[in-house]
Structure 1
């Protein structure tokens, strides 16, 4: 699977995990030069507290467009530190 934003592949992996319709990419599959961690956090009742990244590609920024769970609740331990996308990031084969 590939995550694409602003015509650039920002993550690529054959080992994504799909939960609630979102592909979660292993943390080491993202191209870290495009990601900056933010102070944004949200809470999912069964996954835990999510942290967010801004994505910056070709001079444009997509705020809080990627999220991950640095620590998870027991039911979500399989996606600890996996990264998912929204806000216009395309995920495709």
Structure 2
């Protein structure tokens, strides 16, 4: 699977976990130069508290376009150490 935004490959892996239709990539599959940590968080009742990255390609910023659960709840333990995408990031196989 590949996550792509504005022609840049943000992540690539054959080892994704699909939860609620989102592919969660292993953190080590990310092209780190395209990510900037943010203070933004959200809460899912069954997964826990999500943290976000801005995605940056050629100076363009896609705010909070990647998320992860640093300490997911037990029901979502399979996504620990993994990152998912939205906001126009295309995930293809």
TM-score class normalised by the smaller sequence: over 0.9
Aligned residue number for residue 82 of structure 1: 82
CA-CA distance at 1:59 after TM superposition: 1.6
Structure 1 gap ranges (5+): none
Q: How many residues are aligned here?
A: 93
Q: Output one character per residue of 1:6-34: Cα deviation in whole Å (capped at 9) or x when no partner.
A: 11101000000001000000000011111
SS of the equivalent of 1:46 reads coil
Aligned residue number for residue 40 of structure 1: 40
Structure 2 gap ranges (5+): none
TM-score scaled by structure 2? 0.98
CA-CA distance at 1:81 after TM superposition: 2.0
TM-score scaled by structure 1? 0.98
SS of the equivalent of 1:25 reads strand
Any runs of at least 4 consecutive aligned residues in structure 1 with deviations exceeding 4 A, and if so which?
none
| Alignment RMSD (CA, Å) | 0.5
Aligned residue number for residue 2 of structure 1: 2
CA-CA distance at 1:58 after TM superposition: 1.2
Aligned residue number for residue 21 of structure 1: 21
